[in-house]
């Protein structure tokens, strides 16, 4: 399966101030006490609270340079602003150095309710400094090298400062389209040393649900997945007279229809009425979240797809012989995920900007995978390759998992430390990213609570795999496909990201549900601990709140498992207090997966 040309992910792009959903009127009206040190930080009383927070945080970053590492040659660009109900502010920045984007230069400045500097969370601890911005290698040489390495069409190289891995290197960032280096890779982003031409990183542009390694394993086993679909659902009943009469208020207007899905039974769908007897599968109540038909092409953007329309506001028939059926699952999955984030955390959309998300179904030909593409802000769903996967990959937890990658990208932007030629990614921050996608993907199921898709701590349990699930949070090592691990070890530093994800997924499960045998919703779990310690769970809601707060406030692009422990402790302290059972259980849950203060890596980053 070839992947299309999709513009590579940019590491640091967003400049808009995102208003936290947790911003309250009280916070907005609170007195502002900006630092007097910087003339830039003297906003008027009419400046909106998020903008005040950004200006105060920016000034604090320079004023506390010894802690933040932000130097005079650095410029900060805000990517996210979160204001807590108690007024505390968390402003996330990426930076440029001598005008060049800094990879690994991200940081979060934490301010008190009075906008005084409190602390910083930063990706790397070393000083970003390049003596000058004159590369030895020409842009043309970098382009040639990148095209040769990724075997594709290289775009124009961009000069950047690579501050990752505790060093500062002048480098070129090059997007390579149509990369032939991997079956699932598609576009690649290469970073080359601007002096030596050495490849500093080589990453895939979008997130695929199934790694190249697991696809190869399934093929090698000759496993053919034929998941149960339909679930007794038939084509939805015809619209009632009241429904027919509705919508006379003018078009377009919001309407409620029904869909017969592949995997989740009959579901209500919020749609757009464009004429008396004309509807599109677009949800005006959720930022115009829309699913379109990619027409078996490798569409690059949502507008390349064809809208799904109906004269009855009845969608799909529960089988793949109606092209609309997969769209029902996709639209249900995307809107259920958006609903989870909104009702649980007040998060308005993937980027917390109030916008909807989009999906393209029937993506490409014989594509046995699903992807989140950050540039189009959309999900891309293949229909299956016909060999291993025989059905569209539109199940709910796949969508929850993939859209969470979008949330992670808009917040901590956790990055793998290494990617191999086949597109498999490695390293703890990347594994933490996969783990968070599984944690919140599972939480989306609990939130949707659809009896046709009973919630659980398993991921991909509806894909039809022989092992009955793809991954699971209670005892990750039961997975034999990606060889997920239960406990941290030094090998975790360079473990494949899906396999490595078990460490923090397991910690989350223990925090929520505790150790030992437990049956929840008919699924039997038995979560063991490192050295046999006993953990009593604090409940899923608190555990999920702690992980979300940690992700959005205290994680950055380089956060590893030990940093994640610290981040979740910080979050638990904020939410429940330092002496709380929740706080103590976070500590116990991490110890139970062998992540402790005592075995933290000595290497600073």
Q: Which residues are part of the catalytic machinery?
A: 402, 498
Q: If DSSP codes are grouped into helix, strand and coil, which group holds residue 549?
A: helix
- Cα–Cα distance between 185 and 318 in angstroms, integer? 32
Phi, psi dihedrals of residue 181, rounded to the nearest 5°: -80, -15
Cβ proximity to Zn ion, 404 vs 552, nearer residue:
404
Considering the complex, what minimum distance in angstroms separates the CB of residue 405 from Zn ion? 6
Considering the complex, what minimum distance in angstroms separates the CB of residue 372 from Zn ion? 8
Cβ proximity to Zn ion, 372 vs 488, nearer residue:
372
Cβ proximity to Zn ion, 108 vs 437, nearer residue:
437
Which tokens sit at 260?
């017969």
Q: How far apart are the first and last CA of the chain?
A: 38
- Cα–Cα distance between 255 and 344 in angstroms, integer? 25
Q: Dump the DSSP string for 374-398.
A: TTTTEEEE----SSSB-S----HHH
Q: If DSSP codes are grouped into helix, strand and coil, which group holds residue 328?
A: helix
Cβ proximity to Zn ion, 498 vs 588, nearer residue:
498
Work out the angle between the directed axes of helices 428-448 and 396-410 (0-180°, nearest 10).
130
Binding range to Zn ion, per CB under 5 A, among 152-160, 298-306, 430-438, 593-601 = 430-438
Cβ proximity to Zn ion, 293 vs 434, nearer residue:
434
HEC letters along 332-369: HHHHHHHHHHHHHHCCCCCCCCCCCCEEEECCCCCCCC
Considering the complex, what minimum distance in angstroms separates the CB of residue 75 from Zn ion? 32
Considering the complex, what minimum distance in angstroms separates the CB of residue 512 from Zn ion? 20
Cβ proximity to Zn ion, 59 vs 414, nearer residue:
414
Binding range to Zn ion, per CB under 5 A, among 79-87, 226-234, 429-437, 533-541 = 429-437
Binding range to Zn ion, per CB under 5 A, among 10-18, 304-312, 435-443, 473-481 = 435-443
Strand-pairing partners, residue 270, are 256
Query: 88, 32 in Cβ contact below 8 A?
Result: no
Largest Cα separation within the chain, whole Å, is 74
Which tokens sit at 37?
């040190």
- Cα–Cα distance between 383 and 321 in angstroms, integer? 12
Strand-pairing partners, residue 380, are 360, 371
Considering the complex, what minimum distance in angstroms separates the CB of residue 7 from Zn ion? 20
Cβ proximity to Zn ion, 330 vs 437, nearer residue:
437
| Count of residues that bind Zn ion according to CB under 5 A | 2
- Does 359 bind Zn ion (CB under 5 A)? Our answer is no
Cβ proximity to Zn ion, 364 vs 500, nearer residue:
500
Binding range to Zn ion, per CB under 5 A, among 311-319, 331-339, 428-436, 588-596 = 428-436
Considering the complex, what minimum distance in angstroms separates the CB of residue 438 from Zn ion? 8
Cβ proximity to Zn ion, 384 vs 430, nearer residue:
430
Q: Where are the alpha helices (DSSP H) in 151-282?
A: 212-221, 241-245
Considering the complex, what minimum distance in angstroms separates the CB of residue 209 from Zn ion? 6
Cβ proximity to Zn ion, 128 vs 437, nearer residue:
437
Among 338, 398, 437, 571, binds Zn ion (CB under 5 A): 437
Considering the complex, what minimum distance in angstroms separates the CB of residue 401 from Zn ion? 6
Binding range to Zn ion, per CB under 5 A, among 3-11, 72-80, 99-107, 432-440 = 432-440
Give whole-number Cα distances, 483 to 33, 219, 421, 472, 479, in Å: 52, 16, 20, 11, 6
Q: If DSSP codes are grouped into helix, strand and coil, which group holds residue 176?
A: strand
Work out the angle between the directed axes of helices 502-513 and 581-591 (0-180°, nearest 10).
140
Cβ proximity to Zn ion, 192 vs 437, nearer residue:
437
Query: 294, 380 in Cβ contact below 8 A?
Result: yes
The number of beta carbons lying within 10 Å of the beta carbon of residue 599 is: 12
Considering the complex, what minimum distance in angstroms separates the CB of residue 322 from Zn ion? 29
Considering the complex, what minimum distance in angstroms separates the CB of residue 434 from Zn ion? 5
- Cα–Cα distance between 59 and 64 in angstroms, integer? 9
The number of beta carbons lying within 10 Å of the beta carbon of residue 480 is: 10
Query: 124, 605 in Cβ contact below 8 A?
Result: yes
CA trace torsion 451, 455, 459, 462 (10° rounding): -10
Q: Supply the DSSP symbol for 237.
A: P
Which tokens sit at 529?
């601990």
The contacts of residue 258 (CB under 8 Å, 6+ apart) are 236, 237, 266, 267, 268, 269, 313, 314, 315
Considering the complex, what minimum distance in angstroms separates the CB of residue 329 from Zn ion? 18
Q: Supply the DSSP symbol for 18.
A: P
Binding site residues, Zn ion, CB under 5 A: 434, 437
């Amino acid at each position: 399966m070839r992947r299309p040309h999709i513009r590579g992910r940019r590491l640091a792009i967003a400049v808009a101030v995102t208003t936290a959903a947790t911003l309250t009127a009280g916070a907005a009206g609170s007195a502002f006490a900006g630092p007097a040190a910087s003339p830039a930080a003297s906003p008027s009383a009419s400046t909106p609270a998020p903008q005040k927070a950004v200006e105060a945080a920016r000034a604090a970053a320079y004023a506390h340079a010894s802690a933040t590492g932000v130097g005079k040659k650095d410029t900060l660009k805000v990517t996210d602003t979160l204001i807590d109900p108690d007024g505390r502010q968390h402003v996330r920045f990426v930076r440029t150095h001598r005008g060049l984007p800094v990879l690994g230069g991200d940081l979060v400045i934490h301010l008190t309710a009075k906008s005084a500097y409190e602390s910083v969370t930063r990706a790397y601890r070393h000083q970003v400094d390049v003596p000058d911005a004159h590369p030895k290698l020409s842009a043309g040489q970098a382009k040639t090298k990148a095209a040769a390495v990724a075997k594709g069409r290289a775009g124009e190289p961009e000069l950047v400062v690579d501050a990752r891995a505790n060093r500062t290197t002048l480098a070129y960032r090059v997007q390579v389209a149509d990369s032939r280096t991997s079956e699932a890779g598609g576009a690649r982003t290469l970073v080359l040393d601007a002096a030596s031409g050495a490849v500093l990183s080589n990453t895939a542009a979008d997130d695929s649900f199934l790694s190249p390694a697991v696809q190869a394993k399934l093929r090698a086993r000759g496993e053919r997945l034929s998941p149960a679909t339909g679930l007794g659902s038939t084509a939805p009943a015809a619209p009632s007279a009241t429904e027919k009469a509705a919508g006379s208020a003018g078009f377009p207007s919001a309407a409620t229809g029904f869909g017969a899905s592949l995997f989740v039974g009959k579901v209500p769908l919020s749609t757009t009425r464009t004429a008396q007897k004309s509807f599109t599968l677009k949800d005006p109540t959720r930022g115009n979240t829309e699913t379109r038909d990619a027409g078996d092409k490798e569409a690059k953007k949502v507008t390349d797809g064809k809208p799904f329309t109906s004269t009855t506001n009845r969608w799909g028939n529960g089988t793949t012989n109606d092209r609309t059926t997969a769209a029902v699952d996709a639209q249900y999955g995307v809107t259920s995920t958006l609903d989870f984030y909104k009702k649980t955390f007040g998060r308005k959309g993937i980027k917390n900007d109030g916008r909807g998300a989009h999906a393209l179904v029937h993506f490409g030909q014989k594509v046995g995978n699903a992807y989140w593409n950050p540039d189009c802000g959309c999900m891309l769903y293949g229909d299956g390759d016909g060999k291993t996967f025989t059905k569209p990959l539109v199940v709910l937890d796949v969508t929850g998992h993939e859209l969470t990658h979008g949330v992670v990208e808009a917040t901590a932007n956790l990055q793998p430390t290494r990617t191999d030629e086949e597109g498999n990614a490695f390293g703890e921050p990347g594994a933490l990213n996969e783990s968070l996608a599984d944690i919140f993907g599972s939480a989306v199921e609990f939130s949707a609570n659809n009896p046709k898709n009973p919630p659980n701590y398993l991921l991909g349990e509806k894909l039809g795999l022989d092992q009955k699930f793809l991954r699971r949070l209670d005892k990750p090592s039961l997975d034999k496909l990606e060889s997920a691990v239960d406990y941290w070890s030094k090998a975790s530093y360079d473990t494949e990201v899906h396999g490595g994800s078990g460490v923090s997924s397991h910690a989350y499960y223990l925090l929520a549900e505790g150790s030992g045998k437990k049956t929840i919703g008919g699924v039997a779990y038995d979560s063991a601990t490192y050295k046999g310690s006993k953990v009593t769970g604090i409940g899923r809601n608190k555990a999920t709140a702690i992980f979300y707060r940690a992700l959005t406030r205290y994680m950055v692009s380089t956060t590893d498992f030990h940093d994640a422990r610290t981040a979740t402790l910080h979050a638990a302290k904020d939410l429940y207090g330092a002496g709380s059972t929740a706080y103590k259980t976070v500590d116990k849950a991490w110890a139970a997966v062998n992540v402790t203060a005592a075995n933290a890596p000595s290497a600073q980053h």
